[in-house]
Structure formats: structure tokens, C-alpha cells
């Protein structure tokens, strides 16, 4: 069993989430606020715990299973950066909601 062997598509997915998170992090300048950095990493860790519980439940109830030697080692790091990206995206939308005006409906 070669744990470090992984499908290139997983690496692309991981790097895409990582790059998108970094772009939003720099664009929003949220890396300067230590409180927000702690907040997003805390959210990512909590999200990982929830996803871990989901995986344990799903595998133990046969909702899905991993074929031996087919468990992607990069799955959890990808989940982690996806949660970080989601945090930044949510903050971006929250910051812009004041600027967004609803489109008036005419009859």
C-alpha cells in the first residue's frame, strides 16, 4: 500500500481551494487581523471534526466505503482548505451585502 500515491486530480482540487483561499485572504486583507485568522482556523478545525464524525457514521452504516488502497490521503487537507476558502467567501459576501441592492420588481 502506497499512501503517498494519489490521483493528480486530488492535488489540483487541493491547490485550487488553497489558491482561492489565499486570493481572498489577501484581497480582504484579513491576514492582518489576528482575531480573524484564529477564527477561521478554529472554524476549519471544528469543520474537520464534523466531517470526521460524518465519515465515521457513513462508513459504519455502509453509506459508502473505501476500497482498500483507495483512500485518498489528501482528502482531509482538501477538506481543511475548502473550509478556509468557504470562510473567506462568506466574509466577502457579508462585507458586500450592504453594497448590494435588491432589484426592484415592477408589475
Structural domain includes residue 21:
yes
**Is the Cβ–Cβ distance between 28 and 91 less than 8 Å?**
yes
Enclosing domain of residue 34: 8-94
105 is a domain residue: no
pLDDT at position 28: 83
Decide: 25 and 32 in contact? Cβ < 8 Å.
Answer: no
What pLDDT is recorded for position 1? 46
pLDDT at 18: 93
CA distance 72 to 78: 10
Q: What is the pLDDT of residue 5?
A: 60
Neighbours of 40 (CB within 10 A): 23
Q: Establish if 3 belongs to a structural domain.
A: no
Q: What is the mean pLDDT, run by run of 10 residues, along the chain of 107 residues?
A: 65 91 86 85 91 85 73 80 91 72 73
Closest listed residue to residue 25, CA positions, set 12, 8, 7, 44: 44
- Residue 13 placed within a domain: yes
Evaluate whether residue 51 is within a structural domain.
Answer: yes
What's the domain count of the chain? 1
Looking at residue 51, its pLDDT comes to 87
Is 2 inside any structural domain? no
Amino acid at each position: 500500500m502506497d499512501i503517498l500515491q494519489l490521483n493528480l486530480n486530488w492535488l489540483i482540487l487541493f491547490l485550487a481551494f488553497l489558491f482561492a483561499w489565499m486570493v481572498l485572504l489577501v484581497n480582504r486583507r484579513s491576514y492582518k487581523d489576528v482575531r480573524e485568522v484564529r477564527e477561521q482556523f478554529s472554524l476549519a478545525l471544528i469543520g474537520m471534526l464534523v466531517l470526521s464524525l460524518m465519515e465515521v457514521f457513513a462508513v459504519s452504516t455502509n453509506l459508502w466505503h473505501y476500497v482498500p488502497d483507495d483512500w485518498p490521503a489528501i482528502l482531509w487537507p482538501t477538506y481543511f482548505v475548502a473550509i478556509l476558502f468557504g470562510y473567506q467567501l462568506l466574509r466577502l459576501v457579508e462585507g458586500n451585502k450592504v453594497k448590494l441592492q435588491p432589484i426592484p420588481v415592477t408589475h
